[in-house]
């Protein structure tokens, strides 16, 4: 080994030693930050990995197995009509209403199948940002004006960010499409309704298993929240029927899965995670022991899980250490953040956008957080900037985007969101 390599190893060892030597273990701020990092990661594992990410992995795996490359290229490829491509991308994100991490397997799936960079990144932004329930909750809690501004800004951001990404990287995208080519449609004759129903049921499970509690007790959203698990169970039953009738999974496997799920619900009443785990495990085993497309579906879903899960958990751990959980502090005091966002200058809006971009917001949690910050003197402009950058980005989200798009495209995507959020926040702050 060369002297230069040996020197690099020595410097790295000394740096690691210095970090551990000077760790401020025992100081309240550091110990609390470690606690917050572990607490946020535990909460994320309990609340989001099972209900959000696992269904998303299944959907992403299904995209790569059951959705032909020709179909993806037709609707989201670089040669697809722009109005249709960006319309499909933004509408799909609106329907899913997921957080910045749950959208990642779906984004990786459609991008890997040949979707153009523009529509794919429009979908990546729209999934967590154009959340109908969150926008309604924003209007009710924070005011109709900022709710409308968030809705309009998120829709425009989706189109602008996607369009600029496609234009800025048009050369590399042309090379990528040329290398990938377009394979012939390999569908062996299964009617479109079969695949459509298959995806519809999985999306239904994802959406209703994560349906958040609305701010008011009445209305359609509250009714759906009350019946969310019954609706989720109905989608699960429909999925079983579809797999048995159209996808060659033995009926007895799905019946055993259903009975085990009911038994779990009876043994653990009110603990919805256990029936969900049981159903997911049964579905996985049923598909894995069915040769052909079902086994390929599980293999593809596992590949996405291996690529994305470690990065997300590491990112959540770091975000928890730095910023803590909602309502709790990490290494960075929340008073610092609140004191820096009381004006409407470009610097303040930029800071708010960057802070929001690195924070992790679960679906709907940004609203109560903003309500507290506004109560502590946060300006309207910085509040909107955080709303437009925060839900769509997070440190865990950036790590995974980097693994899919690479350093340059990730940096540009994040920068576009932050800059647009900053500009929009400044404008809104002046007119509000």
H helices present in 250-394, as ranges: 251-267, 273-288, 293-323, 334-339, 346-358, 366-375, 380-389
Position 62 scores a pLDDT of 87
Sketch the domain layout of the chain as residue ranges. 37-183+190-249+290-431
Task: Report, as an integer, the average pLDDT of 101-127.
Answer: 84
Checking if the pLDDT of 420 tops 60, the result is yes
**Window from 65-69, 107-111, 195-199, 347-351 with minimum mean pLDDT:** 65-69
DSSP, residue by residue, 317-358: HHHHHHH-STTS--SS-HHHHHHTSSS-SHHHHHHHHHHHHH
Checking if the pLDDT of 364 tops 70, the result is no
Position 338 scores a pLDDT of 66
Checking if the pLDDT of 180 tops 70, the result is no
Question: Residue written as tokens 């926008």?
Answer: 135
d(CA 319, CA 254): 40
Q: What is the 3-state secondary structure (H, E, C) of 162-194?
A: HHHHHHHCHHHHHHHHHHHCCCCCCCCCCCHHH
Q: How confident is the model at residue 1 (pLDDT cuts 50, 70, 90)?
A: low
Checking if the pLDDT of 143 tops 80, the result is yes
d(CA 281, CA 284): 5
**Window from 123-127, 130-134, 306-310, 422-426 with minimum mean pLDDT:** 130-134
109-118, 162-171, 352-361, range with greatest mean pLDDT: 162-171
Confirm if 290 and 249 have CB atoms less than 8 A apart: yes
Residues above pLDDT 90, as percent of the chain = 30
* CA distances from residue 137 to 69, 290, 309, 312, 364 in whole angstroms, order as listed: 37, 43, 29, 27, 8
Q: How confident is the model at residue 215 (pLDDT cuts 50, 70, 90)?
A: low
Q: How confident is the model at residue 252 (pLDDT cuts 50, 70, 90)?
A: very high
Task: Report, as an integer, the average pLDDT of 59-87.
Answer: 78
Checking if the pLDDT of 184 tops 50, the result is no
Say which residues have a Cβ less than 8 Å from residue 276's Cβ, sequence separation at least 6: 50, 51, 209
Give the closest residue to 426 by CA, choosing from 355, 346, 370. Answer: 346
Position 186 scores a pLDDT of 47
**Burial 123-146, CB ≥16 within 10 A → b, else e:** bbbbbbbbbebbbbbbbebbeeeb
d(CA 431, CA 426): 9
**Burial 271-293, CB ≥16 within 10 A → b, else e:** ebebbbebbbebbbebbeebeeb
Task: Report, as an integer, the average pLDDT of 123-135.
Answer: 77
Checking if the pLDDT of 332 tops 70, the result is yes
* CA distances from residue 293 to 114, 187, 297, 338 in whole angstroms, order as listed: 20, 11, 6, 52
Task: Report, as an integer, the average pLDDT of 252-273.
Answer: 92
Residues above pLDDT 70, as percent of the chain = 89
Encode pLDDT of 216-246 as tens digits. Answer: 677 787 888 889 999 999 999 999 999 999 9
Contacts 24+ apart (CB under 8 A), 16-20: none
């Amino acid at each position: 080994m060369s002297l230069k390599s040996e020197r690099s190893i020595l410097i790295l060892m000394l740096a690691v030693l210095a970090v551990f030597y000077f760790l401020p273990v025992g100081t309240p701020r550091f110990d609390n930050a470690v606690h917050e990092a572990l607490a946020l990661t535990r909460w994320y594992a309990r609340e989001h990995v099972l209900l959000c990410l696992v269904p998303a992995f299944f959907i992403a795996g299904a995209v790569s197995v059951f959705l032909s490359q020709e179909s993806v290229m037709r609707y989201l490829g670089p040669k697809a009509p722009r109005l249709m491509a960006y319309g499909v991308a933004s509408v799909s994100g609106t329907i899913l209403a997921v957080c910045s991490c749950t959208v990642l397997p779906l984004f990786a799936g459609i991008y890997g199948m040949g979707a153009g960079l523009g529509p794919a990144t429009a979908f990546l932004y729209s999934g967590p940002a154009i959340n109908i329930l969150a926008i309604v909750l924003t209007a009710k809690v924070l005011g109709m004006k900022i709710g409308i501004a968030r809705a309009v800004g998120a829709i425009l951001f989706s189109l602008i960010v996607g369009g600029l990404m496609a234009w800025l990287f048009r050369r590399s995208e042309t090379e990528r499409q040329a290398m990938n080519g377009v394979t012939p449609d390999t569908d062996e004759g299964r009617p479109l309704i079969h695949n459509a129903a298959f995806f519809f049921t999985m999306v239904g499970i994802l959406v209703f298993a994560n349906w958040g509690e609305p701010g008011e007790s009445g209305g359609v959203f509250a009714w759906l929240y009350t019946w969310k698990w019954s609706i989720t169970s109905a989608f699960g039953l429909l999925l079983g029927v579809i797999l048995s009738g159209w996808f060659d999974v033995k009926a007895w496997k799905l019946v055993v899965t259903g009975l085990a799920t009911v038994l779990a619900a009876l043994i653990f009443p009110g603990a919805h995670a256990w029936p969900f785990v049981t159903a997911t495990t049964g579905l996985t085993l049923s598909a894995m022991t069915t040769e052909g497309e079902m086994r390929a579906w599980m293999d593809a879903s596992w590949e996405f899980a291996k690529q994305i899960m470690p990065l997300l958990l590491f990112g959540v751990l770091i975000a928890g250490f730095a910023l803590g959980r909602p309502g709790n502090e990490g290494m960075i005091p929340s008073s610092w953040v609140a004191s820096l966002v009381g004006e409407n200058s470009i610097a303040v809006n930029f800071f708010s956008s960057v802070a929001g971009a690195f924070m992790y917001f679960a679906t709907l949690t940004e609203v109560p957080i903003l309500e507290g910050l506004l109560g502590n003197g946060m300006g309207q402009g910085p509040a909107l900037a955080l709303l437009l950058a925060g839900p769509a980005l997070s440190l865990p989200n950036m790590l995974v985007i980097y693994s899919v798009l690479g350093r340059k495209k990730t940096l540009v995507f994040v920068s576009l969101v932050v800059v647009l959020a900053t500009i929009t926040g400044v404008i809104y702050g002046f007119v509000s």
